[in-house]
Each structure stands twice: as C-alpha cells, then as structure tokens.
C-alpha cells in the first residue's frame, strides 16, 4: 500500500497503565495497516529510558530528579493504587493471568510492527539526559515541528 | 465453514488476536480463508471492524462452548 493511513500518539505520561493503553492503541493501529508514530514527551520519556545501568545528567537538581525518577519500562509505577509497588505487583499478577504482555514486550512488538518512536528533545534538555539514556528502539530525537508534520497528515491523534 | 488455516488465540485479549491475525494473514494467499479461535467476547465486534479497516472479507462467527470461531477471507 502506497498511501497508508497514519496515526499519531503523544505519550506524555510515565505510568505503566497509561503506557499499556498507548501501546495497545499503537499496536492495534499498526496491525490494522496504519503507519503509527509515538511521540514521547515529559514523563513519557520514562517509558523509553533503558532499564539497565545508570543515567547520567549534569547539575545537582537534575541528578536528584533522575535519581527519584529513574524510568525504564520495568520501573513505571501505576497511576492509581501503586502502594509502594504492591499495587503494581498485584496488577502484574492479573496481567499474567490473562497472558497480557508487559510494557517491555509491547515495546518490542510495536517495533516489530514498524511503529516509529520519537523522543522529545526539549524534555531531554530539561531533565539533562542524552540519547544514551534511551533504549535503541528510539528512531528519532526531535521536537514539536516533527510531531506536527506527522500529526497533520494523520487521521487519528491521541494524547495519553 | 472451511478454512485453509487456523489460528488459536484462546486465552489472549485485545489487541493480541488482531496482532496475530494481521501477521498470519500475510502468510495467506488472496482468496484463502483463515479461522481464528478466541474466547474474548470483544472479538465479535473487533474482527468485523478489523476487516472493514483492512479491506479483508468477514465471513462470519460461530460460537461453541464459549469459544468463538471467526472466519476471515484474505481479499488482497
């Protein structure tokens, strides 16, 4: 198909349940023959930070921020009932019970289906992190003009 | 109804049956029929709509003991 329908998602949130919703939609779109772009910004960057190793940043405030908000697909809290991780643990059991994939599995599946990942460079600048803080699946590091270029051509545009 | 291939999605929830169906359809030739097994009730609405979006042929659904057998024809 030469002219595929397009879908864009802004992933603003860094919580597990919201990330699941965003990836569900993106994967559903890609499986329905759409060209999907996910634009990760603000707390959403946590979703695509790599889980291994430390994340470097400069300055005491940014170091503190990245310490309390390390990010990474496996570390995302629940938006409700997180309860210091107990709620998340329970949610994981429920998901396993219905064979539902974890965020890291959905990231791999989305990439396999050709979903484009864009990381917001303004959020990166604010939190003082560089490209090496992210998983290799991120295709593009860009800003609002890139998002708009994709969004103005897309039929479906969502903010999660 | 007869199908060339069967895809077992029992125990899987949205969007996984759609993901597996889309992948499997790539292996089929135009005109061939795929049978999808699912116990997620949402499949009754989702599969006709997926067919509408992707331009494939929705042939029908049969239900047996809580398992849905969905028939989809590859149209292009």
The DSSP secondary-structure symbol of B61 reads E
* Closest chain B CA to residue A23: B15
Percent of chain A with pLDDT over 90: 95
Q: Structural domain boundaries of chain A?
A: 6-159
What number is the average pLDDT over the span A19-33? 97
Percent of chain B with pLDDT over 90: 96
Alpha-carbon distances of A39 from A34, A123, A141, B4, rounded to whole Å: 16, 12, 10, 40
**pLDDT at position A1 over 70:** no
CATH class of A6-159: alpha beta
Contact A99 B19 (CB under 8 A): no
**Domain carrying residue B46:** 5-73
State the ipTM, two decimals.
Answer: 0.86
pLDDT of residue A58: 87
Give the pLDDT band of residue A2 (cuts 50, 70, 90).
low
- b (16+ CB within 10 A) / e for A37-76: bbbbbbbbbbbbbbeeeebebeeeeeeebbeebebbbebb
Three-class HEC string of A71-113? CCHHHCCCCCCCHHHHHHHHHHHHHHHCCCCCHHHHHHHHHHC
> CA of A89, closest CA in chain B: separation in Å?
20
Answer yes or no: B14 catalytic.
Answer: yes
pLDDT of residue B36: 98
CATH number of the CATH domain containing B59: 3.30.110.40
- b (16+ CB within 10 A) / e for B27-44: ebeeeebbbbbbebeebe
**What is the arrangement of strands in the sheet containing A116-120, beginning at the earlier edge strand?**
A140-142, A116-120, A35-40, A6-11, A156-159
> CA of B53, closest CA in chain A: separation in Å?
6
Contact A27 B54 (CB under 8 A): no
pTM of the predicted model as reported, rounded to 2 decimal places: 0.92
Count of domains forming chain B: 1
């Amino acid at each position: 198909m030469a002219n595929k329908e397009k879908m864009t998602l802004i992933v603003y949130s860094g919580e597990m349940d919201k990330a699941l919703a965003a990836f569900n939609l993106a994967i559903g779109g890609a499986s329905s023959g759409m060209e999907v772009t996910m634009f990760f910004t603000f707390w959403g960057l946590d979703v695509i930070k790599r889980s291994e190793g430390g994340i470097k940043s400069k300055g005491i405030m940014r170091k503190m921020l990245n310490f309390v908000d390390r990010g990474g697909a496996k570390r995302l809290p629940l938006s409700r009932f997180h309860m210091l991780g107990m709620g998340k643990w329970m949610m994981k059991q429920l998901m396993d019970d219905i064979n539902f994939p974890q965020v890291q599995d959905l990231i791999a599946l989305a990439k396999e289906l050709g979903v484009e990942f864009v990381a917001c460079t303004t959020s990166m600048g604010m939190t003082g992190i560089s490209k090496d803080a992210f998983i290799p699946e991120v295709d593009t590091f860009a800003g609002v003009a890139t998002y708009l270029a994709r969004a103005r051509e897309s039929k479906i545009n969502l903010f999660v | 109804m007869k199908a060339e291939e069967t895809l077992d999605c029992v125990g899987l929830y949205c969007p996984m049956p759609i993901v597996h169906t889309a992948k499997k359809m790539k292996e089929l030739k135009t005109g061939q029929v795929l049978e999808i097994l699912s116990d997620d009730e949402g499949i009754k609405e989702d599969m006709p709509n997926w067919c509408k979006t992707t331009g494939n042929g929705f042939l029908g659904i049969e239900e047996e003991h809580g398992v849905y057998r969905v028939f989809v024809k590859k149209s292009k």
